[in-house]
Amino acid sequence: MKIRGFLASLVLAGACVPSEEYLAKTPSGRPEVTFATRNVASVSEKIVGLCASKGLLVQKADTNQVVCGGTMQGGDAAMAQFLIGNSYSTTPERLVQFTIFPYQGGTRVQAQQWIQTQMAFGQVNKAELNSGNQFNDVMRALISIGGKPVQVVSG
């Protein structure tokens, strides 16, 4: 199963097309931004609006966490199901989770994205999505609503 997960990450990360350079080098290695406001709830609301504007379903929304995504379709769904599921599994979903918290007088957001499918006996198989293109898509979306990229500080 480890090989299938590895293959899934290669194919779904666009192994056949060059990946973009990451927009930022973040502490977590995942998309991270800060907002100047200390109002965590207002940042959460912005992210809910962002998800809705991108056509994603909001599956969970509270002050400190927003999860949105949707069922994959077409060739992407078929490839994902082949790589992390089987003919008995559910149609794969692509999800993104935003964790929102107060940080140094403002608000910080960390994002994680993955695909998942549920197998016939209830097991959920997941594969994280974090290629340069996928990372940058989330970073650009967060920047578009006022976020500033978090950078690793050398030193």
pLDDT score for 112: 98
Give me 130's structure tokens.
């974090």
Write the CB contacts of 77 (distance below 8 Å, at least 6 apart in sequence).
71, 91, 92
- Three-class SS state of 13: coil
What global pTM score does this model have?
0.85
Q: Where are the domains of the chain?
A: 2-15+24-149
Q: Where are any strands of DSSP class E within 5-147?
A: 32-35, 57-62, 65-71, 93-103, 106-118, 124-129
pLDDT score for 6: 42
In the predicted model, residues of the chain with pLDDT beneath 50 are 1-10
pLDDT score for 3: 42
pLDDT score for 14: 52
Hey, what CATH topology would domain 2-15+24-149 get? TATA-Binding Protein (3.30.310)
pLDDT digits (tens, 9 = 90+) for 35-49: 999 999 999 999 999
